[in-house]
């Protein structure tokens, strides 16, 4: 049945009847499921019917059947099924399956030895992957063509060469990695805290760490025979390996670096012009000297890359004097790569040799073109050292060391030898650069090198030179000999060792060594001539120092100095020595000066020549030339002076010049440089101190002047400057002591006397600010004594009269101490050596002139008025003293205006004449100096209420000149407040606060605005902040803070904590000292005293207040004074009640009530008087009178519940049943009318307990429990509620009363376990020892526990020791004593 169906299926396939073919094939398979041909035909039919899934299954089934048949019968595999699958995958673009099928089919064709078909399908799948697949699929397809593939050996020669395939793979991977790196960097750099450089390194490390490129490049090199391609791949391989090395972590760098070095060395050996390879070979070579490099490699690099920065530097190096290599033959310079054999010697006399300037320019150009090259910096640093350009050598060497460090981190190479070479170059340059400033650093650098290389010649020589400069010649010789052991033919080292012997005093040995060196110098090049000149000069110096008689011999030192100049006409030390010969031996000063000038022109570091020139110019008073010489010497990089002689004079001279030019920082630097050379130079220390003080660096100046005073204890000027600095630092006491010490040495020194007087006044103002008013007056009194001494010296000193005026005006701030004003002394001082009629200036306005002076002498004015009037007279004398100085004259008028305005403000009677005089003064000072904002501010302040427009113009003008002055902004805000423009006022105060947050009056102003708008809480906070940041001289801050605090306390229902009112009390104490005669201040102080229970002080103050108001009323008979008098009497009666002076209290309340009448303003005072009188009568056992007063109080208060409570207590105390019933009724009515009034509830509950009335206690019990549960109740209120609840339970007639009391006490503990009193109550009720111990522990650990609670807690423990502690803590508490009595009895 299957064969006919197969034939039919074949016929259908031939006729492309795919459906029929499918039907016939399925019929065959229904009879024979393992029919290979049927599955094959079915797969083909389904493929053409586009039923690809079923077609693939059919082909796969056919393949499996064919495999089984081949296992039974040995025959070759049929490719038909695989070919069908190949077409199927191609149609579906299934690249991976297509490649798998291709490899299987290629193996079948390989078995059949059909290379053509095998090649065709391989090439077809590669093309398909290229056109339709992804990059990964294309790479996989290409891998089929590579060695290791199943078909590579069979098709080798027919398919593409492996090197070409590897090249394609490398190009694909290169593009992929570049794209991935860019994408990852873009993604990661936007993360929080990401740093671009770090992100780039991490991404490259990840990508290149897994990169196959290195393998691809190696395989290309292994298979390719194209030399050009191989070189290109060598370059790519090196570049790729180098980039991987840059990003690899430190632990992975070694292996990668070895490969990179090998690849680079290979390219250099092949002389292939790839710049990176050559740079790696040159730059990575770690050598002690550049001479260790292969000169042929250097020259080849120059030939290949002539425009590169490194090539330019190398070429300049090879052509320079510092090159150890022979010059290239002329032919090699024109073309070809030069080579040098080891036996050749350098030819340094080429006719076309470049000049040093050209070589230096080339080296600098090389560094600029290649700024990351270590070699370029190393070459340039060495050449700078040769040219004695030490500053540039230092900078270049430091840059080179940084590059070495960075390259070491990138490559993992230590570069130890290169680092040492740069370190030695840097140290050598530092020896000579601004010597001896950097010797410490240079020494540390050399020591670092010698630690790991003790025989390093350059470091030994450098350290020896430092020791030579420091005078340690034996140490220098030792080090130089060590260097000679490594390089015995180095003439420079030999000559330095010999010179050290000379300096050490071993003249014969030193001279012999120098002469031996001289014989060995045979060259005529510039370096040899320089060395010869130096040795000849040193021989001459040796003879000069060793034999004074030989100095006159023309064949002695003079001969060698001349010979040195013949060898080198620009050898400056020889000119200096020759000048000394002419000056000291021949006394030929003109010729000597010419020699010194020549030496100084050649080298500004010739200190001896410069100093002699400077002295010569100073003798001829050519000070500008002295400054030029000193500055050039100080700025010289390398200085040479006579051994043992300091180098401080140039810097010290420059410091004085800069100090006079007000260049204080430069002056500081100059004096510091001078002191480094001469640490004990007294004048340099003083100059440095003056520079520090002028620059505002007073702490440093203080230390400097202390050091100067130690160096010369007899010098008064250092002590004087030290005192000045202390004054600037605010250490006025120490400053005054310093001035007194100076005056002990120079009693009549005018400047010191003036400084002492000014300091005493400044100290007095400091005491005013800090509240030490007595000390302030002491300072003023002493100041007047000093001022008398100043007057004896000069009477026209402006500072004297300003100081006297300031001292006198100080008493306006401490009026209660005005009796200590030295009236007689000051009047004598003011009128001394002066025409009294001159005081009449402005007398038509202020009436303070000659007549006022006479009245003061006669004692017609009080102390305060006398003090301020003498201050005005002193300021008037200052006006005459400043007639010749426009600025000082303006300041004098300003001071006078300020004093006039202060008099207007400070005196009890504000007389307008002083304010008008102040305005005239301020206008006068503005005419003299219109650009001073302080003058405009003062005018605005003085005219504020009189003419607001002028005041606003003046203040705005002041702000135009200086808008950063908080005082002006505050005054402008005050002006706007007076004019009721509160928005602008608030803005002005806010601007003042932002300008200077520490200016207290700005906060006071904003507090006033808050008060006006009814923001009492905010105003209180602002006033408190203003008081905290203000000094003690500002009365407005104190006044507003105290007033606001008292208003807050009055509105607070609970008893305030003592700590909250201590600060206002202290502030009031200071305010009383300043404003002792203002009754409002005294009355407010008395009210605060009442709050703390100080009734004695309160009574004393209120009696003074009553006297003041009584006197005022007798003078004015105004209702305002009468009202204040009645209020004061009511307050006084209350204080007397507190002192148990009941009769006095009754008397004063009666007077207050009689005076108050029906005045509405005194309603509160009448209520207070009624209550006070009621309590006074009550405590005097006058119950009827007490009741009458309380009834009147009840009427006055409109049945205030607090008054009802007081009335009920009096009724209850009277004892009659009728009165007690009335008390109960009043309280029930009060509770009904005021259910939230806790005092009525507590009093009613207490009466219920006393009466044992269950009805009453039950009536209040629920209210007490509800109050107890409320949040925010004060601690003392809660305690009263808990005590009453416990008492109700204890006095209950029920048998379970004790249990209920314990339960209530326990519930209180549960609600507030941190309250000591709850545990104490529980211990008392339950008689529980644990509760008593817990109460003590809670009290000891509580931060807010007072001594009374702690005392009660100790008393609750039944131990004598605890009882004694309780008594010690609060001896006025009965609990401790009672507990002690019980424990002693027990």
User: pLDDT digits over 1072-1105, tens only?
Assistant: 665 656 777 777 777 777 777 778 888 887 888 7
- Quote the CA–CA distance of 38 and 22 in Å, as a whole number: 9
- The whole-angstrom separation of Cα 743 and Cα 739 is 6
Nearest CA to 121 out of 107, 111, 131 is that of 107
pLDDT for the residue numbered 1032: 56
pLDDT for residue 1033: 57
Q: Is the pLDDT of residue 19 over 80?
A: yes
Q: Which residue would you say has higher pLDDT here, 641 or 941? A: 941
**Is a pLDDT exceeding 60 seen at residue 332?**
no
What's the pLDDT score for residue 396? 92
Residue 1034 has a pLDDT of: 60
Task: Please give the pLDDT value at position 1049.
Answer: 66
**18 Cα distance to chain centroid:** 89
Predicted local confidence at residue 402, as pLDDT: 92
Contact between 576 and 564 under an 8 Å Cβ cutoff? The reply is: no
In angstroms and rounded to an integer, the radius of gyration of the C-alpha atoms of the chain is 54
Residue 1303: the pLDDT is 72
pLDDT at 312: 92
pLDDT of amino acid 365: 92
Query: Nearest Cα to 1000, choosing from 1067, 1099, 1076?
Result: 1067
Between residues 83 and 1261, which one has the greater pLDDT?
Answer: 83
Q: State whether residue 235 is helix, strand or coil.
A: helix
Residue 390: phi and psi, rounded to 5, are -70, -35
| pLDDT tens-digit map of 455-477 | 888 888 888 888 877 778 788 88
Name which of 911, 901, 903, 920 is nearest 867 in CA terms: 903
Per-residue pLDDT, averaged over 9-18, amounts to: 82
pLDDT at 347: 44
What is d(CA 333, CA 315) in angstroms, rounded to the nearest whole number? 11
Mean of all residue pLDDT scores within the chain? 79
pLDDT tens digits for range 583-599: 888 888 888 888 988 88
Q: Can you tell me the distance from the alpha carbon of 726 to that of 738, in angstroms, rounded to the nearest whole number? A: 9
| pLDDT for the residue 337 | 41
Residues with Cβ within 8 Å of residue 231, at least 6 apart in sequence: 267, 270, 272, 274
Kindly tell me if the per-residue pLDDT of 1263 is higher than 80: no
Is the pLDDT at 834 greater than 60, yes or no? yes
The larger pLDDT score, comparing residue 34 to residue 441, is at 441
Contact 1041, 1064 (CB under 8 A): yes
Query: Could you report the per-residue pLDDT of 99-132, keeping only the tens digit for each?
Result: 888 887 778 777 777 778 787 888 888 888 788 8
Q: pLDDT for 1287-1319, tens place per residue? A: 776 665 454 445 476 777 777 776 777 777 767
Report pLDDT digits (tens) over 586-640.
888 888 888 988 888 888 878 888 888 887 876 776 767 877 888 787 777 676 7
Report the range of poorest mean pLDDT among 907-911, 1080-1084, 1221-1225: 1221-1225
768-812 pLDDT, tens digit per residue, is 877 788 888 888 888 888 888 887 777 777 778 888 888 888 888
pLDDT for residue 375: 92
- What residues are paired with 640 via a beta bridge? 606
Residue 1057: predicted pLDDT: 54
Question: What are the φ and ψ backbone dihedral angles of 115, each rounded to 5 degrees?
Answer: -65, -35
Q: Average the pLDDT over 49-62 and give the result.
A: 83
Mean pLDDT for the stretch of residues 834-850:
73
Band the pLDDT of 348: cuts 50, 70, 90: very low
* Residues 427 and 457 sit within 8 Å (Cβ to Cβ): no
Residue 553 DSSP symbol = -
Looking at the chain, the whole-number percentage of residues with pLDDT higher than 90 is 3
The pair of structure tokens assigned to 514 is 């120098």
DSSP secondary structure letter of residue 248: S
CB atoms within 10 A of CB 148: 9
Q: How far apart are CA 447 and CA 217, in angstroms?
A: 48
User: What value does the mean pLDDT take over residues 841-856?
Assistant: 78
What pLDDT is attached to residue 833?
Answer: 66
Q: Which two tokens stand for residue 555?
A: 């064949």
Contact predicate 316/362, CB 8 Å: yes
Residue 340 has pLDDT above 70, yes or no: no
CA torsion angle 1224 1230 1236 1237 (round to 10)? -70
Q: What is the pLDDT of residue 1245?
A: 72
pLDDT band for position 345 (cuts 50, 70, 90) = very low
First to last CA, the chain: 130
How much of the chain exceeds pLDDT 70, in percent?
84
Cβ density class 189-198: b for 16+ within 10 Å, e for less: eeeeeeeeee
Per-residue pLDDT band at 1258 (split at 50, 70, 90):
low
Q: How far, in Å, CA of 1287 to CA of 8, rounded?
A: 120
pLDDT (mean) for 842-858: 77
* Residue (of 799, 820, 822) closest to 877 by Cα position: 799
The burial of 1114, by beta-carbon neighbours within 10 Å (0-12 exposed, 13-18 middle, 19 or more buried), is given as: exposed
**How does pLDDT run across 996-1043, given as a tens digit for each residue?**
888 888 888 888 888 888 887 888 788 778 777 776 556 677 677 767
Q: Would you say residue 1115 has pLDDT above 80?
A: no
Residue 1116, Cβ density class (10 Å: 0-12 exposed, 13-18 middle, ≥19 buried): exposed
What is the pTM (predicted TM-score) of this model? 0.50
What pLDDT sits at residue 377? 92
For residue range 529-580, list pLDDT tens digits in order: 888 888 888 888 888 888 888 888 888 888 888 888 888 888 889 898 888 8
For residue 376, pLDDT beyond 90: yes
């Amino acid at each position: 049945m299957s064969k006919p169906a197969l034939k039919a299926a074949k016929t259908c396939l031939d006729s492309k009847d795919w459906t029929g073919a499918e039907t016939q094939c399925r019929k065959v398979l229904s009879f024979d499921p393992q029919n290979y041909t049927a599955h094959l035909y079915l797969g083909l039919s389904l493929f053409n019917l586009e039923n690809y899934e079923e077609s693939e299954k059919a082909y796969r089934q056919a393949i499996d059947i064919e495999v089984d048949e081949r296992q039974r019968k040995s025959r070759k595999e049929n490719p038909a099924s695989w070919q069908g699958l190949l077409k199927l995958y191609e149609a579906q673009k299934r690249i991976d399956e297509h490649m798998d099928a291709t490899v299987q089919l290629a193996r079948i064709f390989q078995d059949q030895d059909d290379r053509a078909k095998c090649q065709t399908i391989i090439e077809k799948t590669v093309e398909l992957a290229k056109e339709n697949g992804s990059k990964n699929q294309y790479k996989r397809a290409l891998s089929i063509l590579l060695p290791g593939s199943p078909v590579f050996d069979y098709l080798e020669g027919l398919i593409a060469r492996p090197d070409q395939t590897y090249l394609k793979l490398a190009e694909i991977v290169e593009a992929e990695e570049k794209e991935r790196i860019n994408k990852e960097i873009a993604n990661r750099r936007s993360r929080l805290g990401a740093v671009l450089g770090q992100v780039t390194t991490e991404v490259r490390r990840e990508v290149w760490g897994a990169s196959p490129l290195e393998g691809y490049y190696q395989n290309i090199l292994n298979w390719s025979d194209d030399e050009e391609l191989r070189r290109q791949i060598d370059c790519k391989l090196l570049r790729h390996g180098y980039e991987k090395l840059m990003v690899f972590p430190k632990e992975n760098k070694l292996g990668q670096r070895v490969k990179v070095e090998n690849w680079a060395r290979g390219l250099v050996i092949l002389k292939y012009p790839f710049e990176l390879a050559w740079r790696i070979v040159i730059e990575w070579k770690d050598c002690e000297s550049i001479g260790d490099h292969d000169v042929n490699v250097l020259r080849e690099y120059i030939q290949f890359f002539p425009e590169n920065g490194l090539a330019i530097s190398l070429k300049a190096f090879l052509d320079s004097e510092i090159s150890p290599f022979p010059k290239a033959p002329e032919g090699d310079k024109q073309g070809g790569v030069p080579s040098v054999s080891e036996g050749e010697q350098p030819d340094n006399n080429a006719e076309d040799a470049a000049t040093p300037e050209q070589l230096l320019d080339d080296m600098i150009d090389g560094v600029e073109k290649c700024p990351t090259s270590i070699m370029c910096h190393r070459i340039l640093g060495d050449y700078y050292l040769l040219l004695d350009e030490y500053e540039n050598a230092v900078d270049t060497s430091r840059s080179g060391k940084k590059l070495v460090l960075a390259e070491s981190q990138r490559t993992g190479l230590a570069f130890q030898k290169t680092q040492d070479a740069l370190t030695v170059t840097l140290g050598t340059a530092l020896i000579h650069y601004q010597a001896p400033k950097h010797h410490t650093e240079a020494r540390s650098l050399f020591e670092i090198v010698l630690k790991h290389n003790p025989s390093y010649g350059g470091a030994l020589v450098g350290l020896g030179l430092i020791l030579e400069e420091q005078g340690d010649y034996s140490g220098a010789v030792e080090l130089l000999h060590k260097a000679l052991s490594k390089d015995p033919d180095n003439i420079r080292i030999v000559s330095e060792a010999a010179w050290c012997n000379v300096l050490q005093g071993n003249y014969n040995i030193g001279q012999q060594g120098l002469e031996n060196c001289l014989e060995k110098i045979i060259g005529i090049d510039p370096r040899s001539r320089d060395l010869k000149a130096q040795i000849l000069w040193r021989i001459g110096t040796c003879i000069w120092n060793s034999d004074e008689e030989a100095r006159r011999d023309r064949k002695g030192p003079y001969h060698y100095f001349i010979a040195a100049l013949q060898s080198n006409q620009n050898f400056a030390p020889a000119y200096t020595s020759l000048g000394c010969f002419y000056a000291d031996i021949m006394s030929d000063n003109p010729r000597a000066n010419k020699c010194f000038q020549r030496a100084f022109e050649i080298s500004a570091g010739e200190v001896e020549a410069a100093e002699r020139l400077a002295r010569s110019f100073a003798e001829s008073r050519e000070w500008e030339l002295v400054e030029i010489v000193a500055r050039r010497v100080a700025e010289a990089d390398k200085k040479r002076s006579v051994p043992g002689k300091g180098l401080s004079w140039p810097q010290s001279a420059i410091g004085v010049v800069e100090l006079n030019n007000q260049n204080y920082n430069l002056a500081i630097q100059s004096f510091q440089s001078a002191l480094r050379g001469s640490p004990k130079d007294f004048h340099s220390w003083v100059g440095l101190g003056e520079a520090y003080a002028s620059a505002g660096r007073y702490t440093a100046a203080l230390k400097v002047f202390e050091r100067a005073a130690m160096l010369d204890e007899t010098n008064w000027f250092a002590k004087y400057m030290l005192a000045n600095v202390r004054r600037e630092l605010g250490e006025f006491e120490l400053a005054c002591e310093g001035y007194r010490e100076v005056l002990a040495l120079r009693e009549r020194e005018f400047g010191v006397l003036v400084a002492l007087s000014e300091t005493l006044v400044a100290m007095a103002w400091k005491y005013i600010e800090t509240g030490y008013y007595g000390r302030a007056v002491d300072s003023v009194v002493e100041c007047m004594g000093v001022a008398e001494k100043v007057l004896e010296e000069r009477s026209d000193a402006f500072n004297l009269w300003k100081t006297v005026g300031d001292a006198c005006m100080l008493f306006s701030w401490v009026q209660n101490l005005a009796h200590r004003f030295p009236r007689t002394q000051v009047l004598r001082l003011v009128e001394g050596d002066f025409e009294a009629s001159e005081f009449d200036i402005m007398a038509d306005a202020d009436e303070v002139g000659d007549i006022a002076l006479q009245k003061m002498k006669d004692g017609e004015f009080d102390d305060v008025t006398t003090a301020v009037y003498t201050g005005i007279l002193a300021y008037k004398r200052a006006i005459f003293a400043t007639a010749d100085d426009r600025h000082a004259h303006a300041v004098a008028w300003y001071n006078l205006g300020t004093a006039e305005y202060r008099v207007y403000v400070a005196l009890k009677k504000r007389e307008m004449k002083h304010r008008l005089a102040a305005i005239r003064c301020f206008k006068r000072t503005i005419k003299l100096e219109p650009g001073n904002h302080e003058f405009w501010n003062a005018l605005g302040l003085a005219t504020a209420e009189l003419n607001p427009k002028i005041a606003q113009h003046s203040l705005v003008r002041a702000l135009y000149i200086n808008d950063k002055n908080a005082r002006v902004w505050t005054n402008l805000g005050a002006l706007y407040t007076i004019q009721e423009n509160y928005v602008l006022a608030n803005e002005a105060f806010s601007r003042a606060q932002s300008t200077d947050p520490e200016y207290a009056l700005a906060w006071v102003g904003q507090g006033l605005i808050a008060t006006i708008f009814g923001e009492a809480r905010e105003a209180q906070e602002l006033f408190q902040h203003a008081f905290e940041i203000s000094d003690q001289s500002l009365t407005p801050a104190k006044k507003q803070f105290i007033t606001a605090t008292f208003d807050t306390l009055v509105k607070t229902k609970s008893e305030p904590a003592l700590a909250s009112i201590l600060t206002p009390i202290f502030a009031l104490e200071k305010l009383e000292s300043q404003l002792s005669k203002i009754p409002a201040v005294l009355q407010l102080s008395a009210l605060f005293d009442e709050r703390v229970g100080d009734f004695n002080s309160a009574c004393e103050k209120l009696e003074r207040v009553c006297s003041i108001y009584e006197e005022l009323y007798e003078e004015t008979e105004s209702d305002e004074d009468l009202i204040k008098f009645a209020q004061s009497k009511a307050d006084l009666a209350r204080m007397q009640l507190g002192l148990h002076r009941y009769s006095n209290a009754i008397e004063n309340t009666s007077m207050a009530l009689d005076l108050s009448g029906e005045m509405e303003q005194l309603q509160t005072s009448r209520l207070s008087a009624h209550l006070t009188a009621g309590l006074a009568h009550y405590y005097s056992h006058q119950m009827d009178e007490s009741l009458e007063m309380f009834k009147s109080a009840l009427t006055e208060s409109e049945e205030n519940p607090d008054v009802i409570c007081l009335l009920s207590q009096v009724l209850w105390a009277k004892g009659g049943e009728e009165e007690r019933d009335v008390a109960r009724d009043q309280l029930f009515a009060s509770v009904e009318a005021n259910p939230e009034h806790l005092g009525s509830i507590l009093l009613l509950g207490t009466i219920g307990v006393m009466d044992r009335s269950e009805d009453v206690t039950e009536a209040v019990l629920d209210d007490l429990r509800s109050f107890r549960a409320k949040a925010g109740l004060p601690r003392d209120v809660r305690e009263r509620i808990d005590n009453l609840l416990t008492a109700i339970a204890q006095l209950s007639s029920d048998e379970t009363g004790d249990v209920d009391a314990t339960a209530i006490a326990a519930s209180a503990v549960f609600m507030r376990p941190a309250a000591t009193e709850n545990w104490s109550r529980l211990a008392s009720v339950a008689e529980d020892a644990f509760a008593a111990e817990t109460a003590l522990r809670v009290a000891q650990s509580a931060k807010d526990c007072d001594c009374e609670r702690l005392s009660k807690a100790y008393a609750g423990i039944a131990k004598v020791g605890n009882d004694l502690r309780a008594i010690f803590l609060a001896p006025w508490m009965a609990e401790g004593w009672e507990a002690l009595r019980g424990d002693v009895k027990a």
